[in-house]
């Protein structure tokens, strides 16, 4: 029964759907690498259908069970647990509604199903099917069967159906679908052995040896096709769902109560939504929960970040202790490699905390509601409720934030979200802002600095929204913006799963950003170290100084005669002069391309701070003193004035000072267009706005 | 099945209030926009003959949380307008309406 293979004129296609070609004829199996002799089992299912829990049960890897549609962004693979004596690869994928994709996420999933880069076509497809929403879930099941896959249906949430007073007959469903149907409970591991047994049988079934050549990608269905397919699933639902207590005609129940009892949403969720989506309390709860996430990213992470920082400093001093003094490689390892790795690791605590908290909200089902609440305001700026999570993540780090933007189905909204994420005030800017604010705020009124910091965070949200609004005005589109998001039932989160998922995401961050940051740190190290490796310091200058201070003097001298300084003096100083800055700030800005927070330590070197940075207060005090005494290039007035420091803050708010973000934006958008646009646009914005700020303040009489 | 009399205003899910239930009559009949997402709405389960209920609305009145086939789906008003309904009933047919479940406004 090829209900949905009918083709329709391009009348109904949107641009995204062009990625799902119409019937392509049999897919060749040549993609399948011969290396994988093990059978390949793909898990497919609608969002929240219990697919990932099943994956955990089958692989034992305990990969994350997600409660937010589209959370499994990347395919995860595992091997079948050994106790069943059937070796196979298991592929997990993001939840899909239909085999006709509607978002980049779904395109990846569906392409992966038909042509997985590593595994090719799967040998068997197990589709998880939430039997409390049978008429919806059978839609995908039927599509998979029609496509030609060897499909096994795993019925999940039987206990919930039971609670509603109904029962499903797996035998009847199997007879109707002409494919095996197994009831499972992944948490209690019931039905899993049967599921594996039937998978094995189906895999070794010789009568279907050439079945892969019969698999067809379905064309884009018409609305009639969808309606017909639903007629079929409803008809099937009526035949297989029975009342548990005594036989009643389901139509009778339909009349009595809310259409079909088996189609009533979860009652607790309905009650909770009265509060969480309440016009007033909904907003209050939203603001409180987001405020809590936001503050805990900083308060809880800070001590852990200090530990990471101390760890890397002591590793650095340990290594420099065992390597020969004055050798270039000692400096490369300690200042290039270890510091580079340290600047990758320093953000891990924040990323971990952010993902644990987001995971909690996701698993309880609240995150989808939060996206719904914020959709209207964000849509004013050309964004989408789904942009909210990436934007919030952007306050910790742009890298996971850009990765999280994959769940946005509309390409333009996804583009806009990725565009503005670098404007969100990420945690690497914090040390820079802290130093700059400490410079301009009177020391006896530290609360002004706190207030200023809060204002900077709000302003970054505002500047992001305005930028998105402006870009969306210029970039016209005929792609219609949509927001269709399933609000999953509220559930108690499973902490073990959240921790596993967080671990995985932190690992992705380290792997994605790590190599690039380290390579770039090494390049920067070379630029700031060579050619004057061992500068001569006149004895008169070193008299009475400790060896530590002499070392810092050497470092400073080496830097001021390095390639970076040459570039800074000749290229950057003319450009930066209108902003009231000199080459030393220029060199620090170059160094900060590896990670923004390096700016502070680079300043310490360029401004010849001779204090030990182990003692943080002392370090900041001495860097502030150097900033106060530093003179402008012509030597007539101070370099750091209130105006030039505020201009520096404005510069950091906009400048695309992060190479890892560039790399991730390139990877996630598949082209250099977005990262180059970001570099170009935000560099110009940073420069122009810093210039306007500096000159504007000067005109107002603030130096 | 499809009534092409577009002169007559057809009520849609966007016209419903919180707690209202109605039966879908058709989806995306007068959507001349080639980029409309009616197909996705139908794939999500909004097919003619199904009962829909407004569970909640965002504080900004948009998007709406609509229950269909045992699932709650958030939709923007623009999308909800594609889902045409018979005139919404103040109370669902059965005695089991959410309104009787506490949290009355």
ipTM for the predicted complex: 0.78
Q: Which regions in chain A score pLDDT beneath 50?
A: 1-35, 62-73, 255-262, 611
Q: Please tell me the distance from the alpha carbon of residue A558 to that of residue A331, in angstroms, as a whole number.
A: 12
Are the Cβ atoms of B70 and A263 closer than 8 angstroms?
yes
The pTM assigned to this predicted structure is 0.75
Distance separating alpha carbons of residues A2 and A229, to the nearest angstrom: 10
DSSP for residue A569: I
Provide the token pair at A531: 């050619």
Tokens at A589, concatenated:
């800005």
Which of chain A's residues have a Cβ under 8 Å away from the Cβ of B73?
A: 484-487
Could A230 and B33 be called an inter-chain contact, meaning their C-beta atoms sit closer than 8 Å? no
* Spatial contact of A572 and A586, defined as CB atoms under 8 Å apart: yes
Question: Hey, what's the torsion of the CAs at A200, A205, A208, A213, to 10 degrees?
Answer: 40
Residue of A nearest to B45 (CA): A136
Residue with structure tokens 């057809």? Answer: B10
Give A333's contacts (C-beta < 8 A, 6+ positions apart): A319, A320, A323
When CB atoms are compared, the residue of B44, B69, B70 closest to A97 is B44
- Tokens describing residue A143: 């599509």
Tokens at A200, concatenated: 């094995």
CB-nearest to A484 from B34, B79, B101 is B79
A546-604 pLDDT tens trace: 776 777 777 777 777 788 888 888 888 888 888 888 888 888 888 788 778 778 877 87
Residue B15 forms contact with A (CB below 8 Å):
no
Among chain B residues, the shortest Cα distance to A272 is held by B103
Q: How far is B26 from chain A (nearest CA, A)?
A: 10
Give the distance from residue A332's alpha carbon to the nearest chain B alpha carbon, in angstroms.
Answer: 54
In angstroms and rounded to an integer, the radius of gyration of the C-alpha atoms of chain A is: 30
pLDDT at A522: 82
The pLDDT of residue A554: 75
Residue entry with tokens 């002392």: A618
Tokens of A233: 């699933």
Please judge whether A226 and B47 are an interchain contact, meaning their C-beta atoms are less than 8 angstroms apart.
yes
pLDDT at A685: 93
CA distance A62 to A66: 12
Are B103 and A271 inside 8 Å of each other by CB? yes
- End-to-end CA gap in chain B: 38
Show the beta-strand stretches assigned E in A184-333.
Answer: 241-243
Strands of A142-301 (E only): list them.
151-156, 166-168, 181-183, 241-243
B62 touches chain A (CB under 8 A): yes
Q: How far apart are CA A322 and CA A315, in angstroms?
A: 11
Please tell me which of the candidates A12, A282, A377 has its beta carbon nearest to residue B39: A12
User: pLDDT at residue B34 above 80?
Assistant: no
Q: Which residue of A has its CA nearest to B21?
A: A258
State the Cα–Cα distance between residues A413 and A407, nearest whole angstrom: 11
Q: Among B44, B63, B103, whose Cβ lies nearest the Cβ of A372?
A: B63
Whether the CB-CB separation of A474 and A416 falls below 8 Å is answered with: no
What is the C-alpha separation between A528 and A555, in angstroms, rounded?
10
Tell if the CB–CB gap between B47 and A274 is shorter than 8 Å: no
Closest-CA residue of chain A to B54 = A270
Minimal CA separation from B87 to chain A, in Å: 16
Query: Strands A124-130 and A89-92: what pairing?
Result: unpaired
A477-515 in b/e form (b: 16+ CB < 10 A) is eeebbbbbbbbbbbeebbeebbbbbbeebbebbbebbbe
Tell me how far CA of residue A524 lies from CA of A496, A530, A534, A686, in angstroms: 41, 10, 18, 22
Smallest Cβ–Cβ distance between B75 and the set A283, A481, A484 belongs to A484
Instruction: Return the number of other C-beta atoms located less than 10 Å from residue B21's C-beta.
Output: 22
Task: Flag if A136 and B40 touch (Cβ within 8 Å).
Answer: no
Pairing relation of β-strands B71-75 and B51-57?
A: unpaired
Residues of A in contact with B79 (CB under 8 A): 482-484
At B103, is the pLDDT very low, low, confident or very high (cuts 50, 70, 90)? very low
Q: CA-CA distance, A577 to A579, in Å (whole number)?
A: 5
Q: For residue A630, give the H/E element and its range.
A: none
pLDDT of residue A209: 64
């Amino acid at each position: 029964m090829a209900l949905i293979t009918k083709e329709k004129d391009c009348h109904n296609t949107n641009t995204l759907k062009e990625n799902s070609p119409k019937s392509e004829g049999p897919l060749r199996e040549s993609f399948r690498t011969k290396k994988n002799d093990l059978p390949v089992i793909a898990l497919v299912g609608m969002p929240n259908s219990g697919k990932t829990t099943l994956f955990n049960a089958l692989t034992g890897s305990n990969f994350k069970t997600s409660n937010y549609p589209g959370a499994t962004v990347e395919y995860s693979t595992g091997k079948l647990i050994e106790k069943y004596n059937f070796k196979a690869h298991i592929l997990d994928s993001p939840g899909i509604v239909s085999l006709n994709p509607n978002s980049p996420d779904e395109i990846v999933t569906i392409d992966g199903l038909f042509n997985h880069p590593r595994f090719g076509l799967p040998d068997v497809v197990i589709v998880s099917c939430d039997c409390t929403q049978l008429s919806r879930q059978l839609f995908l099941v039927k599509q998979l069967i029609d496509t030609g896959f060897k499909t096994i249906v795993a019925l999940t949430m039987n206990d919930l159906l039971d609670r509603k007073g109904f029962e499903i007959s797996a035998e009847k469903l199997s007879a109707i679908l002409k494919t095996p149907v197994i009831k499972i409970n992944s948490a209690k591991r019931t039905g899993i052995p049967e599921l594996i047994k039937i998978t094995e049988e189906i895999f070794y079934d010789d009568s279907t040896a050439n079945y892969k050549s019969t698999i067809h990608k379905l064309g884009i269905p018409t609305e009639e096709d969808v309606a017909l397919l639903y007629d079929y699933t409803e008809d099937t639902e009526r035949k297989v769902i029975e009342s548990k207590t005594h036989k009643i005609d389901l139509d009778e129940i339909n009349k009595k109560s809310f259409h079909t009892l088996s189609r009533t949403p979860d009652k607790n969720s309905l009650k909770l939504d009265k509060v969480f989506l309440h016009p007033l309390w909904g907003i209050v709860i939203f603001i409180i929960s987001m405020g809590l996430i936001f503050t805990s990213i900083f308060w809880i992470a800070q001590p852990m970040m200090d530990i990471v920082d101390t760890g890397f400093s002591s590793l650095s001093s340990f290594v420099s202790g065992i390597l020969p003094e004055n050798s270039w490689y000692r400096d490369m390892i300690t200042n290039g490699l270890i510091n580079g790795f340290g600047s990758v690791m320093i953000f891990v605590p924040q990323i971990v905390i952010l993902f644990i908290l987001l995971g909690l909200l996701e698993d309880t089902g609240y995150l989808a509601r939060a996206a719904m609440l914020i959709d209207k305001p964000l849509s004013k700026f050309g964004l989408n409720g789904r942009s909210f999570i990436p934007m919030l993540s952007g306050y910790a780090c742009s890298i996971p934030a850009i990765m999280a933007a994959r769940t946005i189905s509309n390409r333009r909204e996804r583009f806009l979200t990725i565009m503005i994420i670098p404007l969100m005030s990420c945690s690497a800017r914090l040390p820079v802002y802290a130093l700059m604010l400490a410079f301009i705020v009177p020391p006896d009124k530290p609360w002004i600095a706190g207030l200023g910091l809060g204002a900077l965070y709000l302003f970054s949200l505002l500047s992001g929204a305005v930028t998105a609004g402006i870009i969306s005005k210029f970039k016209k589109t005929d792609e219609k913006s949509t927001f269709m998001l399933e609000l999953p039932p509220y559930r108690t989160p499973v902490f073990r799963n959240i921790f596993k998922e967080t671990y995985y995401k932190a690992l992705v961050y380290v792997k994605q950003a790590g190599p690039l940051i380290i390579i770039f740190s090494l390049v920067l190290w070379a630029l700031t170290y060579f050619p004057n490796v061992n500068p001569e310091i006149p004895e008169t200058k070193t008299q009475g100084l400790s060896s530590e201070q002499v070392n810092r003097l050497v470092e400073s001298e080496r830097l001021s005669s390095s390639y970076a300084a040459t570039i800074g003096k000749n290229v950057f100083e003319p450009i930066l002069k209108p902003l009231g800055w000199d080459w030393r700030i220029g060199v620090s800005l170059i160094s900060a391309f590896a990670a923004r927070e390096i700016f502070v330590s680079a300043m310490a070197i360029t401004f010849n701070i001779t204090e030990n940075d182990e003692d943080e207060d002392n370090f900041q005090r001495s860097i502030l003193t150097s900033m106060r005494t530093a003179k402008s290039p012509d030597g007539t007035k101070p370099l750091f004035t209130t105006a030039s420091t505020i201009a520096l803050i404005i510069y950091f708010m906009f400048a695309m000072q992060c190479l890892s973000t560039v790399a991730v934006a390139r990877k996630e958008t598949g082209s250099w267009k977005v990262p180059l646009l970001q570099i170009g646009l935000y560099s110009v914005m940073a420069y122009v706005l810093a210039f306007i700020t500096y000159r504007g303040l000067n005109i107002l009489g603030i130096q | 099945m499809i009534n092409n009399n577009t002169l007559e205003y057809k009520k849609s899910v966007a016209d419903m209030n919180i707690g209202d239930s109605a039966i879908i009559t058709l989806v995306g009949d007068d959507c001349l926009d080639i980029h409309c997402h009616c197909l996705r709405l139908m794939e999500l389960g909004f097919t003619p003959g199904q009962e829909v209920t407004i569970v909640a609305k965002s504080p900004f009145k948009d998007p709406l949380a609509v229950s269909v086939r045992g699932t709650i789906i958030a939709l923007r008003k623009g999308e909800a307008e594609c889902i045409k309904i018979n005139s919404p009933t103040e109370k669902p047919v059965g005695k089991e309406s959410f309104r009787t479940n506490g949290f009355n406004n």
